Amino acid sequence: MLKVGIVGIGTVGRYRANLYSKVNEIKLVGLADKHEDKVLEYTQIFGVKAYSTLEELVAAENPDLIDICLPTHLQKEVAVKAAELGKHVFCQAPMAYSEADANEMIVACQKAGVQLLVSNPLHFSPEYVKVKNLIDRHSIGNVGTVRIIRDRYLDRYEQGKSSGLILQSLIHHIEWLQSIFGNIKRVYAKRLKQKTESIDVAYVSLRFENGLIAHINANVIEGSSKDRIFLEAAGDKGVLSYHSEDAVPIYTSYFENIALRENRPVNDPYLEEIKELMNQVSSYQQDGQVALNALKCGLAVMESLKSNEVITLLDQEARV
């Protein structure tokens, strides 16, 4: 049984607490938030006690893992404290807003001998798993280009938060692409951001060391529609496409054979990620380095958006 404590009971914290209640092998033992009146609302719902600090939660409940459900800029401090208290750490992507903070998190967890896990639901999304498997099996041959369009819809658009949402969307896809195609060499990005309209659009071009080029559109839009994702990979034997809105979302067309369609799976990737926590904690395969590599690229993208210049990752440390 893996005992988990959550720090931060905002929208993400409440959602993750609900997921933990669905997994028999994991027990949610406590919630911590500096706003005690807010966290008390959910203690009866999830059947746990509320605490105002991480230290109080650890002292009273002795969890095995701390799930940090806080804004990115607050994650480092809690991650380092949790590691010093001997607790495994699970946080959101991006893990930090600078390489220095991310490295501090990694070093603290390594020094304490605990796991540092960074969420990326794409690795547990059935569609993305299927697409990755098809590419790994060379079903469409050697892939030369990848195109991704990610539309993120908000009930209320806030200019100050759009950059963070764009970076979050990019980080997930960058790390997923790196897991298939390896290291990224250069990035270039452009942005359309209009104060008079509730829209923020980032176009990103990534050149990998193996020559592959990926194009990502990360869009933050005000509206009531569900988030949308389109992905297309072109190889020398065919084209593989995924569209989240299609009833049959995965479509593979071959230059010399008939097209194939894949039915939509029903698994919740966030729940599947939670189910894997026990295996990840015991395997010690993750130490945050993969997430750091994606963060470096994401920061380079944000720098390119500011400077309108190509950023070479091997020659420059990117910062925001």
Give domain limits for the chain.
Answer: 2-120+273-285, 122-267+298-312
What was the pLDDT predicted at 100?
A: 95
Question: pLDDT-based confidence at 132, cuts 50/70/90?
Answer: very high
Structure tokens at 144: 């030369």
The pair phi, psi for residue 278, each rounded to 5°, is: -60, -45
What was the pLDDT predicted at 43?
A: 83
CB atoms < 10 A from the CB of 279, how many? 10
Q: How many helices (H) and strands (E) does the chain have?
A: 11, 15
Q: Of 264, 90, 297, which is closest to residue 176 (Cα–Cα)?
A: 297
Question: pLDDT-based confidence at 197, cuts 50/70/90?
Answer: low
What was the pLDDT predicted at 194?
A: 62
Flag whether pLDDT at 285 surpasses 70: no
**pLDDT, average across residues 172-183:** 94
34-48, 110-124, 164-178, 229-243, range with the lowest pLDDT: 34-48
73-87, 95-109, 129-143, 159-173, range with the lowest pLDDT: 159-173
What was the pLDDT predicted at 115?
A: 92
The pair phi, psi for residue 232, each rounded to 5°, is: -140, 130
Flag whether pLDDT at 76 surpasses 50: yes
Q: Distance (Å, rounded) from C-alpha 283 to C-alpha 297?
A: 26
Q: Distance (Å, rounded) from C-alpha 185 to C-alpha 70?
A: 31
**pLDDT, average across residues 242-262:** 71
Scanning the structure block, which residue is given the tokens 């590599």? 293
pTM listed for this prediction:
0.87
What was the pLDDT predicted at 162?
A: 55
246-278: burial string, b at 16+ Cβ within 10 Å, e else: eeebbbbebeeeeeeebeeeeebbbbbbbbebb
Q: What is the CATH number of domain 2-120+273-285?
A: 3.40.50.720
CATH topology of domain 122-267+298-312: Dihydrodipicolinate Reductase; domain 2 (3.30.360)
Flag whether pLDDT at 276 surpasses 90: no
Computed over its alpha carbons, how large is the radius of gyration of the chain? 20
**pLDDT, average across residues 64-74:** 95
Structure tokens at 250: 């995965």
Between 55 and 305, name the one with better pLDDT: 55
Highest mean pLDDT out of 15-29, 143-157, 253-267: 15-29
Between 9 and 256, name the one with better pLDDT: 9
Flag whether pLDDT at 265 surpasses 60: no
What was the pLDDT predicted at 103?
A: 95
Q: 126 and 197 in contact (C-beta within 8 Å)?
A: no
